Amino acid sequence: MSSSFRSEEMCLAQLLFQTESAHNCISELGHLGLVQFKDLNPGVTAFQRRFVKEVKKCEKMERILRYLEKEMVKSSIVIAPTKEKEIVPCPRDVLELESTFEKLEQDLREINRNHVALRQNLSELMDIDSLLRMAEDFFEEAESLMSCSEPPSEDSMCMTVSSRITSRRNSSSSIIGPPYLGFIAGVIKQERFPAFEKVLWRLFHGNFVLRHAEIQATEELQTDRGLAKKDVFIIFVQGDHVREKVRKVCDGFHASLYSCPKTLHERKEMSNNIMTRMEDLRLILRRTEEYRAGVLMKAADHVHEWSSKVKKMKAIYYTLNLCNIDITQKLIVAEIWCSVSDLTLVHNALIKGSEQSGSSVTPVLNRIQTQQTPPTFNRTNSFTEGFQAIIDTYGVGTYQEINPAPYTTVTFPFLFAVMFGDCGHGLVMTLFAVWIVTQAERRYIILLMGMFSVYTGLIYNDCFSKSFNVFGSSWRVQPTFHPHGPWHNDTLHDCEHLQLDPVIPGVYSGVPYVFGIDPVWNIASNKLSFLNSFKMKMSVILGVSHMLFGVTLSLFNYAYFRNFQDVLIEFIPRMIFLLSLFGYLVLLILYKWCITVPSDVAPSILLLFINMMLFDYQSQHHLLYEGQKAVQICLVVTAVLMVPVMLMVKSFLVYRTYMKSRQPVFGNSLNDQHGADTRSSFSQHQSNETVSMSDIFVYQAIHTIEFCLGCISNTASYLRLWALSLAHAELSEVLWRMVLQVGLSFSSGMGSLMLALIFAAFAVLTVTVLLVMEGLSAFLHALRLHWVEFQNKFYEGSGYKFTPLSFDSLLKTQQ
């Protein structure tokens, strides 16, 4: 029950179980999630551990699983999440799974290879097909040119410089007769084509004909080759010996050459051939894809199950690596940290595990005493989890010191709300948080922040920068007018601003507004003078209370660790210092609020405080009450006296015990004086090292200075509560006045449309600037106030966190 106020009491226990039941036992402990295994082989590197082969096997299986999942995602097969079954993996399963995985991987890789090869074939065939078709057109055109001896028409396919050559060839052909034109046909990437042409031109000095055309990219081709466009080309050259040169050039440009038959009939036959082959290939491809999908779908059902099995096995082998196997190879020795209250649960889990594996020997659980510091274990439920995480981010608590988390559940949202302070924004935040909580089940921090913000917003009387007037304001205007007061109707016409004076009876009703700030201040032009004074004093009061609370918690720490000496020489001087200076400041503030002082002689609290510290009591500074001078001098002197107490007394006492302990027998007397449970700082003397006095003195001096100066600076630091709430209120008012009020003052018919647009702008700005930006800012500052100003009064935070072997968290984090 008190477990969340302090970290749990932990014990070190030794486990002994048989090697056969090792897997089951460890997996039961993993499902329980309450046990942290200690590394019994710290000197051994990772590669020398006993089960390193098995861990490698598990990692290989994980790699295969990842590959499988990737393939499934590529073919858009949905992986069905299976329910978490209590599967106990055993060593036999490892081998079985391994072989299944390997087979699956091999199958898949082979299928993929075949698929790729088939696709390549298909694309080649398509190239040849388009080549043949284009070649048809070329030849037809060439023949028609030959017969007609006409200059080629413009709308034939891309004519190049060689068109002039064509005409020359035509003229020369009429002399020689029907020429024999050898040709070479192929496919080349479109971007390479111009360079290709230039090279050919230089090679043949224009003695060739080159035709090319773009292959119309079909959808099928596009998925294969991406966006690389290809061109078909035909080169007509004279003579056979130049073929080699042309072939070499084509190779250089990575153009694929295909043999193209010369006669029409042969070409037609080849074309048909290719068509049939393409159809066959398409069929095969489809079958391959279907087979692949089938294999993957079958695997998809089991992927989750396998994956969790493999993870659990890897965790178990990793844990086994931490244990010791004794000489007979039949017994495994493990050391665990676990909470004292969980010992029976752990024992039951072990028994269950060994029963499951069918072994006859029950495992043994021994508690052992140790001097090592146990890990810090704070049991959390889903509500306190978030706050515990905030505390742990700063530093994990030292073993068994006070845990600030349960107090943070309220003080953190409260301080946030003091800085955020607007009930309209708070309401929006609360609604948002409720929505999140119904979805995700963990974000209670935001919900609490929102609810507290609504409360502080109601007290600040600020809702989207407007005030509510529920109970009736305490300020009246009528009594200032004639005949009771000095104002006339003309006074209103003459002056633009007039101030109400509470001295005149009736103006201030004597009873303050019941809940929060009076609504009249919202419409006053000197609103900020009142609010600033109010908020600054409020920040100081809240800050001093928070720090007092922190110092009080340190008392609980001392009491728990039986450190009564520290109570006397550390806690009491600190409390006296804090109370006599800053407690007195708070008292002054409260006193000045409660009494009636004529406003022209009212002293400023700040000046009073400064003069108190400087012992400055000149008569022109008025005092709040009689005897103030004596009281203040007394308090300052007391506070100053506490400083040497904090500085010297502890070091002196340490020195005295150290000197005393050096005389009699070394070890025994030390153990007599300080019992084995004491965790005081005197424990450093239990070792045989010499203790240097200067170290202790410096340590003490640093802590004293830190505390004393810290009191002043931390109190001032709490003024950020004022600063941020002022910023928020001002931003809110700016948004109202500059945005929404402008929208509401349109009187024309278009006004409604403009208002809708302006309201949209207002909403967007409110959410982004005021809610998100200010919210984050207030969150950060509240966090800082907790981490620094509150926690440095009592929190050490030098422990290490309890990380139990837990399958739940393992599977959750990796998915």
375-404: contacts with other proteins (CB under 8 A): 381, 383-384
From candidates 303, 520, 553, 555, binder to other proteins by CB under 8 A = 520
Q: Which residues pair with 364 in a beta bridge?
A: 16
CB 551 within 8 A of CB 714: no
Smallest gap from Cβ 407 to other proteins, in A, equals: 6
From candidates 516, 543, 573, 743, binder to other proteins by CB under 8 A = 516
Smallest gap from Cβ 472 to other proteins, in A, equals: 6
From candidates 361, 389, 559, 595, binder to other proteins by CB under 8 A = 595
Q: Is residue 340 a contact point for other proteins (CB under 8 A)?
A: no
From candidates 26, 517, 731, 735, binder to other proteins by CB under 8 A = 517
CA atoms within 13 A on the CB side of 516: 23
**C-beta closer to other proteins: residue 293 or 451:** 451
Binding characters for other proteins, 65-84, by CB under 8 A (x = yes): --------------------
Q: In angstroms, rounded to a whole number, what is the distance separating the alpha carbons of residues 516 and 416?
A: 18
**C-beta closer to other proteins: residue 373 or 380:** 380
Smallest gap from Cβ 328 to other proteins, in A, equals: 43
Strand, helix or coil at 140? helix
CB 306 within 8 A of CB 65: yes
Q: In angstroms, rounded to a whole number, what is the distance separating the alpha carbons of residues 400 and 679?
A: 10
For the chain, give the number of residues. Answer: 815
**R_g over Cα of the chain:** 44
Q: In angstroms, rounded to a whole number, what is the distance separating the alpha carbons of residues 483 and 13?
A: 89
Strand 331-339 versus strand 324-325 pairing type: antiparallel
Q: What is the footprint of other proteins within residues 5-34 (CB under 8 A)? A: 5
For residue 652, how many other CB atoms are within 10 A of its CB? Answer: 15
What is the torsion angle, in degrees rounded to the nearest 10, for the CA atoms of residue 619, residue 624, residue 629 and residue 634? -160
Smallest gap from Cβ 545 to other proteins, in A, equals: 7
Smallest gap from Cβ 298 to other proteins, in A, equals: 46
Which among 2-10, 109-117, 230-238, 743-751 is the span making contact with other proteins, rule CB under 8 A?
Answer: 2-10
Smallest gap from Cβ 593 to other proteins, in A, equals: 5
In the DSSP assignment, the letter for residue 603 is P
Which among 362-370, 531-539, 768-776, 803-811 is the span making contact with other proteins, rule CB under 8 A?
Answer: 531-539
From candidates 361, 514, 607, 637, binder to other proteins by CB under 8 A = 514
Smallest gap from Cβ 599 to other proteins, in A, equals: 4
**C-beta closer to other proteins: residue 220 or 385:** 385
Report residue 94: phi and psi, to 5°: -60, -50
Q: What is the footprint of other proteins within residues 487-506 (CB under 8 A)? A: 492-493, 495-502
Smallest gap from Cβ 7 to other proteins, in A, equals: 14
Smallest gap from Cβ 579 to other proteins, in A, equals: 17
Q: What is the footprint of other proteins within residues 455-494 (CB under 8 A)? A: 455-456, 459, 471-478, 481, 492-493
Q: What is the footprint of other proteins within residues 415-434 (CB under 8 A)? A: 418
Closest CA to 134 of 185, 182, 179: 185
**C-beta closer to other proteins: residue 452 or 577:** 452
707 burial class (0-12, 13-18, 19+ CB within 10 angstroms)? buried
Q: Tell me the number of residues near other proteins by CB under 8 A.
A: 71
Distances (CA, A) of 344 to 331, 347, 351, 367: 22, 5, 11, 12
List, as own/partner pairs, every contact residues 682-686 make where C-beta atoms lie below 8 angstroms and the sequence separation is at least 24, other chains included: 682/654, 682/657, 685/657, 685/658, 685/661
Smallest gap from Cβ 681 to other proteins, in A, equals: 29
Which among 301-309, 331-339, 522-530, 576-584 is the span making contact with other proteins, rule CB under 8 A?
Answer: 522-530
212 burial class (0-12, 13-18, 19+ CB within 10 angstroms)? buried
From candidates 328, 372, 596, 620, binder to other proteins by CB under 8 A = 596
Q: What is the footprint of other proteins within residues 258-287 (CB under 8 A)? A: none
Smallest gap from Cβ 752 to other proteins, in A, equals: 27
**C-beta closer to other proteins: residue 200 or 542:** 542
Q: Which residues pair with 10 in a beta bridge?
A: 339
Beta strands (DSSP E) in 146-290 are 182-189, 209-214, 230-237, 256-258
Smallest gap from Cβ 423 to other proteins, in A, equals: 13
Q: What is the footprint of other proteins within residues 532-591 (CB under 8 A)? A: 533-534, 537-538, 541-542, 545, 590
Task: List helix spans (H) across 323-394.
Answer: 343-356, 385-394
First vs last C-alpha separation in the chain? 33
